[in-house]
């Protein structure tokens, strides 16, 4: 089993290898008992080294604690109306969801081996590896394996299919708050994903990455000078203390900026929230100022809470734009007025 590296006797017959009947089970403390309720699971061998000497080998190790997103609800946040992908308080539940029950398989990798294609286990994160896309991108193709091989693996074992990221398949949870349509450039390789989801990564291998994912939110990167400096963008560091004490400190980043890095220049202008315009699309009445943007309602929604540009702008034009959409105005508020938050920008 497990790539033909572990004999049955090492888990079931104890150190003398003779008591095949009755069957015994390896325990986390290295003993063997006939009851399997407390037997070892994936985490005992693959997160800790207590049993390494007993097995005379060091099984591949993953992060302790495993997280596929640093949201404490990462196992259910994208399918909260269905059965969760995994139970957030159970590391074993996470193993079972991604790998299936591979305890007695010749291939210890389990489910992912059905769609891994040309990807290599524990490889470096490069533009040629696309493990992430194998689960999350509808056009995934590696060697002879495709996205369809992945979905069949999950549906064939009555498990929910992982969330698709481009809002282009039946597995895209586009109606869940916080969903982001990842129309990525230059590609859907692991190195592209690493740019937003690897703040917790200590080594540059795919094994460590997929077991220690960071949620791709603005503040997880931009509030850390060390991280922004490490990726060559120190000028994009935002001092969290200064920001939180500023007039806009109570707002989420996407209240003023687009989500993600696509079309990032298309931030909201001051008048989008502070000028009560009869028609935001044509930018009329820009000097009819309000001090309480939360009370300025457009189409039934406070302008402060509008995070989708297409609420005001034509969705077809916006989604097909190849340059910053609507960014060619000749005069903006900051032409006459200094940003009140200039100290942290």
- pLDDT above 70 coverage of the chain, percent: 70
The two tokens of residue 296 are 């300025």
In this structure, the answer to whether residues 292 and 326 fall within a common structural domain is yes
DSSP state of 77: T
In this structure, the answer to whether residues 269 and 205 fall within a common structural domain is no
Residues 45 and 183 in one domain: no
Q: What percent of the chain has pLDDT over 90?
A: 16
What is the three-class DSSP state of 235? Answer: helix
Task: Give the list of residues 6+ apart from residue 115 with CB closer than 8 angstroms, or none.
Answer: 134, 140, 142, 145, 146, 147, 149, 150, 153
Strands 67-68 and 212-213: parallel
Residue 343 has pLDDT above 50, yes or no: no
Provide the phi-psi class of 158: left if phi over 0, else alpha when psi is between -120 and 50, else beta.
Answer: left
Number of domains in the chain: 3
pLDDT of 297 strictly over 80: no
Of 128-132, 283-287, 318-322, the poorest mean pLDDT is in 283-287
Mean pLDDT of 53-76: 81
Q: Check whether 39 has a pLDDT greater than 50.
A: yes
pLDDT grade, residue 145 (50/70/90)? Answer: very high
Distance, in Å, from the CA atom of 54 to the CA atom of 109, rounded to the nearest integer, reads 22
Does 279 score more than 60 pLDDT?
A: no
What are 258-263's contacts with CB under 8 Å, separation 24+? 258/309, 259/180, 259/307, 260/180, 260/182, 260/196, 260/216, 261/196, 262/183, 263/309, 263/321, 263/324, 263/325
Burial of residue 320 (CB within 10 Å: 0-12, 13-18, 19+) is exposed
**Ramachandran quadrant class, 16 (left: phi over 0; alpha: psi -120 to 50; beta: rest):** alpha
pLDDT at 341: 45
260 has pLDDT over 90: no
At 164, the pLDDT band (50, 70, 90 cuts) reads very high
The reply to whether 153 falls in a domain is yes
Q: Is the pLDDT of residue 26 over 50?
A: yes
pLDDT class for 195, splitting at 50, 70, 90? Answer: confident
Contact 43, 91 (CB under 8 A): yes
Residues 283 and 321 in one domain: yes
Q: Is 210 or 333 the better-scoring residue by pLDDT?
A: 210
**Residues 202, 132 share a domain:** yes
The overall average pLDDT reported for the chain is: 77
The Cα–Cα gap between 140 and 135 comes to: 8
Confidence tier at 129 by pLDDT (50, 70, 90):
very high
Only one residue has tokens 């490889």, namely: 123
- Peptide bond preceding 21 in cis form (omega within 30 of 0): no
Residue 236 lies in a domain: no
Would you say residue 185 has pLDDT above 70? no
Q: How far is it, in rounded angstroms, from Cα 337 to Cα 207?
A: 50
- Please indicate, yes or no, if residue 245 is contained in any of the structural domains: no
Which residues are paired to 297 by β-bridges?
Answer: 302
- The answer on 99 and 45 residing in a single domain is no
Which residue, chain included where needed, has tokens 């603005």? Answer: 218
Looking at residue 97, what is its pLDDT? 93
In a domain, 221, yes or no: no
Q: What is the pLDDT of residue 216?
A: 74
Both 100 and 37 in one domain: the answer is: no
DSSP string, 185-215: SS-SSHHHHHHHH-TT--SSBHHHHHTEEPP
Residue 135's pLDDT band (cuts 50, 70, 90)? very high
Residue 98 lies in a domain: yes
pLDDT tens-digit series, residues 243-256 = 888 878 888 887 78
Whole-number pLDDT of residue 137? 94
- Would residue 134 count as lying in a domain? yes
For 299, the domain range is 252-336
Q: What confidence tier does 299 reach under pLDDT thresholds 50, 70, 90?
A: confident
CB atoms within 10 A of CB 194: 20
> Does 70 share its domain with 184?
yes
> Are both 115 and 192 inside the same structural domain?
yes
Q: Bigger pLDDT: 298 or 68?
A: 68
Q: Is residue 223 assigned to a domain?
A: no
Whether 296 and 288 have beta carbons less than 8 Å apart is answered as no
50, 96: one domain: no
Q: Average of pLDDT values for 71-88?
A: 75
Examine the pLDDT at 325 and tell me if it is beyond 90. no
Residue 237 lies in a domain: no
The stretch 274-302 carries a mean pLDDT of 63
For position 63, what pLDDT does the model report?
82
Do both 96 and 202 map to the same domain?
A: yes
**What local confidence, expressed as pLDDT, does residue 332 receive?**
53
Lowest mean pLDDT among 71-75, 110-114, 283-287: 283-287
State residue 151's pLDDT score: 96
Residue spans of beta strands (DSSP E) within 197-326: 212-213, 297-298, 301-302
The pair of structure tokens assigned to 64 is 């302790």
């Amino acid at each position: 089993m497990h790539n033909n590296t572990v004999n049955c006797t090492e888990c079931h017959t104890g150190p003398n290898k003779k008591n095949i009947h009755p069957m015994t089970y390896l325990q986390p403390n290295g003993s063997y008992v006939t009851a399997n309720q407390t037997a070892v699971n994936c985490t005992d061998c693959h997160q800790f080294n207590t049993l390494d000497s007993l097995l005379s080998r060091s099984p591949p190790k993953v992060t302790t604690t495993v997280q596929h997103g640093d949201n404490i609800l990462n196992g259910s946040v994208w399918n909260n109306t269905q059965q969760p992908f995994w139970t957030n308080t159970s590391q074993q539940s996470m193993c079972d969801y991604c790998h299936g029950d591979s305890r007695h398989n010749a291939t210890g990798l389990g489910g992912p081996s059905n769609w891994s294609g040309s990807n290599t286990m524990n490889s470096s994160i490069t533009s040629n590896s696309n493990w992430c896309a194998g689960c999350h991108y509808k056009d995934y193709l590696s060697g002879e394996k495709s996205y369809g091989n992945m979905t069949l693996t999950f549906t064939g074992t009555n498990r929910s299919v992982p969330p698709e990221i481009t809002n282009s398949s039946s597995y895209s949870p586009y109606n869940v708050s916080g969903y982001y349509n990842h129309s990525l450039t230059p590609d859907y390789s692991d190195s592209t994903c690493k740019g937003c989801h690897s703040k917790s990564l200590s080594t540059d291998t795919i094994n460590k990455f997929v077991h220690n994912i960071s949620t791709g939110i603005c503040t997880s990167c931009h509030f850390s000078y060390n991280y922004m400096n490490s990726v060559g963008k120190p000028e994009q560091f935002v001092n969290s203390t200064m920001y939180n004490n500023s007039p806009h400190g109570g707002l989420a980043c996407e209240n003023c900026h687009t989500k993600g890095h696509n079309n990032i220049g298309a931030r909201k202008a001051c008048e989008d929230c502070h000028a009560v315009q009869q028609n935001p699309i044509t930018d009329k009445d820009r000097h009819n100022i309000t001090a309480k943007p939360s009370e300025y309602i457009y189409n039934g929604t406070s302008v402060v809470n509008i995070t989708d540009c297409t609420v005001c702008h034509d969705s077809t034009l916006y989604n097909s734009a190849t340059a910053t959409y609507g960014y060619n105005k000749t005069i903006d508020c900051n032409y006459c007025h200094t940003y009140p938050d200039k100290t942290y920008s």
